[in-house]
């Protein structure tokens, strides 16, 4: 705005009413913080409504006999937790879930890293080969489970048993024997996830400057020494990401074992997630299902915390 000058007076001596008054401006960091809050608020609201409130309800219902229908809710203390540890089917589901998560994590990691190293080399048809290994990650896990159910069918109609029959070998009960069913579920999971996790390692490999490996070869480093001293330390962030995804996915797995075996034979391939669903929905035992959910959440948190600690130690060792 233009300043009004009075004849014979300097601007500095103008009366306060005649001088221009500039309103104080809010600091920039406060304006940015206010704007950021409005962007975060919808996500925060969704998190509270869909996560925190159901979590609080699960913790509360785990100490009650709530069945999902009756308005009368009776406080039972830790009875639901005691029932879980006295239920052999629950302990079986816990054991298989941990076994599945650990074994798939180890096998997928052991296979995905060499596969990524091989796919990182130059050869004819490299793009097609990469697509072939990545393809199992494209269909849904439920679809893969149905396809492998047809392949591993213990009857003569199963693809593998049909091939074995052509060479005079008796059919193998892949999904009917408890031990074979567990191994079959794990092998299918490894087959489905190895290619996808190999792409994670491949992305990290392609971000590493080629000069580093060329310098190591000029220094006379062999293939194993180069892998142990260069490749593996540089892949530590990728290993952390991959194993975190594998462990969390393995602990909450439901769709693949269910579509392959429906948790059978017996309780051999039943998982914690399936037990929660069956107790909460099929049997209307919300209290027990909520208690199992709380224990499941604590177990997942403990495993993830342990994995992060080990990963940080590994990164510190190679940094």
User: pLDDT-based confidence at 34, cuts 50/70/90?
Assistant: low
- Report the chain's C-alpha Rg in angstroms: 30
**What pLDDT shows up at residue 317?**
72
Contact 133, 194 (CB under 8 A): yes
- Give percent of the chain above pLDDT 90: 30
Please name the residue ranges forming H helices in 207-285.
Answer: 210-218, 223-226, 232-234, 236-251, 255-261, 272-277
Question: If DSSP codes are grouped into helix, strand and coil, which group holds residue 67?
Answer: coil
**What pLDDT shows up at residue 257?**
92
Question: If DSSP codes are grouped into helix, strand and coil, which group holds residue 60?
Answer: helix
Question: Quick check: 12 pLDDT over 70?
Answer: no
* Residue 145: partners with Cβ closer than 8 Å, 6 or more residues away: 188, 255, 256, 258, 259, 260
Q: State how far the alpha carbon of 240 is from the alpha carbons of 190, 197, 209, 228, 253, in Å.
A: 18, 12, 21, 17, 20
pLDDT, tens digit (0-9, with 9 covering 90-100), for 190-239: 999 999 999 999 998 888 877 777 777 776 777 777 777 778 888 888 88
**What pLDDT shows up at residue 7?**
47
pLDDT, tens digit (0-9, with 9 covering 90-100), for 35-89: 777 888 888 899 899 889 988 998 999 999 888 787 888 898 899 999 998 988 8
- For the chain, the straight-line distance linking the first and the last C-alpha, in angstroms and rounded, comes to 60
CATH superfamily of domain region 82-318 = MetI-like (1.10.3720.10)
Looking at 53-67, 150-164, 256-270, which range is the least confident one? 150-164
**What pLDDT shows up at residue 224?**
78
Q: In the chain, where are the structural domains located?
A: 82-318
- Give percent of the chain above pLDDT 70: 87
Q: Say which residue the tokens 């896990």 belong to.
A: 141
User: pLDDT-based confidence at 24, cuts 50/70/90?
Assistant: low
**What pLDDT shows up at residue 305?**
87
């Amino acid at each position: 705005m233009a300043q009004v000058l009075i004849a014979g007076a300097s601007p500095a001596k103008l009366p306060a009413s005649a001088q221009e008054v500039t309103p104080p401006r809010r600091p920039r960091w406060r304006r940015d913080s206010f704007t950021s809050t409005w962007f975060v608020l919808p996500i925060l609201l969704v998190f509270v409504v869909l996560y925190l409130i159901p979590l609080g309800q699960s913790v509360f219902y785990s100490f009650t006999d709530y069945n999902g229908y009756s308005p009368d809710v009776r406080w039972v203390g830790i009875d639901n937790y005691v029932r879980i540890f006295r239920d052999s089917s629950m302990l079986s589901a816990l054991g298989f879930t941990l076994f599945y998560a650990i074994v798939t994590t180890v096998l997928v990691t052991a296979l995905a890293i060499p596969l990524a190293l091989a796919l990182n080399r130059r050869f004819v048809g490299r793009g097609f080969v990469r697509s072939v290994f990545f393809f199992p990650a494209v269909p849904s896990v439920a679809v893969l489970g149905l396809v492998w159910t047809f392949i591993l069918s213990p009857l003569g109609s199963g693809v593998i048993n049909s091939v074995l029959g052509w060479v005079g070998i008796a059919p193998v009960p892949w999904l009917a024997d408890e031990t074979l069913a567990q191994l079959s579920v794990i092998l299918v999971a490894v087959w489905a996830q190895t290619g996808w996790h190999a792409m994670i390692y491949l992305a990290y490999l392609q971000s590493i400057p080629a000069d580093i490996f060329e310098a190591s070869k000029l220094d006379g480093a062999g293939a194993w020494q180069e892998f142990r001293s260069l490749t593996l330390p540089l892949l530590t962030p990728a290993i952390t990401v991959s194993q975190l995804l594998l462990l969390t996915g393995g602990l909450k797995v439901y769709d693949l074992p269910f579509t392959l075996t429906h948790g059978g034979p017996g309780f051999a391939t039943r998982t914690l997630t399936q037990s929660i669903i069956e107790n909460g929905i099929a049997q209307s035992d919300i209290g027990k299902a909520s208690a199992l959910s709380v224990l499941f959440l604590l177990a997942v948190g403990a495993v993830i915390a342990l994995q992060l600690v080990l990963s940080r130690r590994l990164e510190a060792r190679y940094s």
